[in-house]
Amino acid sequence: MVLHLYLIKTKGLFKRCSALHTGLLLLLFAGGVRAQTPLVYPPLSVGTRIAPAWFGPNAFAVPELLDAAASGNLRAELAGSGAFGYAGDRTATLHGCIRLPLFTDRAALVVEMPVMEWWRNTDRRMQECRLTDERGRSGHGAGDVYVSTEIVVLRERPKVPGIALRAALRTASGGNYDLARYYDSPGYWFDLGLGKTFRLPADFRLRIAATAGFLCWQTDNGRQNDAVMYGARLQAGWRRIVLTADYAGYAGWEKEGDRPMVLRIRLGGRAGDLGKTGEWEPFATYQWGIVDSPWHELRLGIAWHFDVLGAAKTRMQTVQKR
């Protein structure tokens, strides 16, 4: 009888031990399987190819140069551009931009975007971008929205240049990531700009400006590409006609298609009354992609400038007199 009870207890203990052993084996096996399938992050030496050279011309274009000029004018701009790729690809884009002073001529909010683009790729460009989907050969789509704040920290003086700061954000609202048009990821930049105008005889003027900053965008697996921004401007003006030449770009750390460098030449002329009906400025811009921006781009547009702060001040003075 005692032996029988002992065997029953021993058998129960064996069952418990067997269950425990089986559980441990399953846990170890699961751990082994997990160890065999880790999350893999590409080494930093491997480029992500999420960079300007492998996407459309509006994916993350080199930002406009910040020249530290204080302005209380409202500016609304509408333009159309044609980008002619070195690989034979073509992109037509409708651009929109608005600059709104924030109650002073030393701060402004700027919102801009490629409203819509239409593109057509060649076999060579498809191979460069590693596109196998035939939908990437041609199509159209809306772009990302850029929102920035510009602040003039120091006004320009006779012997001191103006200094301005800018903080900008690029949304991930653009589509067609799988067709190599937009990144489908956010980006931002901060830069510092300096500018000085020199008055010359006969209504001529010359302005020199430069900018430097930090630019960044998300790539893959939570990584981001950090870049150094740079730019220089030489601007000549006579009365209401202005000719501007910019050399600008940014340099990412991956060193594979992420170091766009461009030369921009812009010619514009104003007409109208800034304080009453506003000034209209037709303009033309040519951009040459020197490195990692494989396009020639021609842009034609019109901008409307209005002294919104001056008009508000005049209106307030009129009300006070009454």
pLDDT tens digits along 228-276: 999 999 999 999 999 999 999 999 999 999 999 999 999 999 998 887 8
The answer, yes or no, to whether residue 1 has pLDDT greater than 90, is no
User: What is the predicted pLDDT for the residue at 48?
Assistant: 85
Return phi, psi of residue 13, to 5°.
Answer: -65, -40
Is the model's pLDDT at 316 over the cut of 80?
A: no
Which pLDDT band holds residue 95 (cuts at 50, 70, 90)?
very high
What is the value of pTM for the model shown?
0.82
Which of left, alpha, beta for 181 (phi over 0: left; psi -120 to 50: alpha)? Answer: alpha
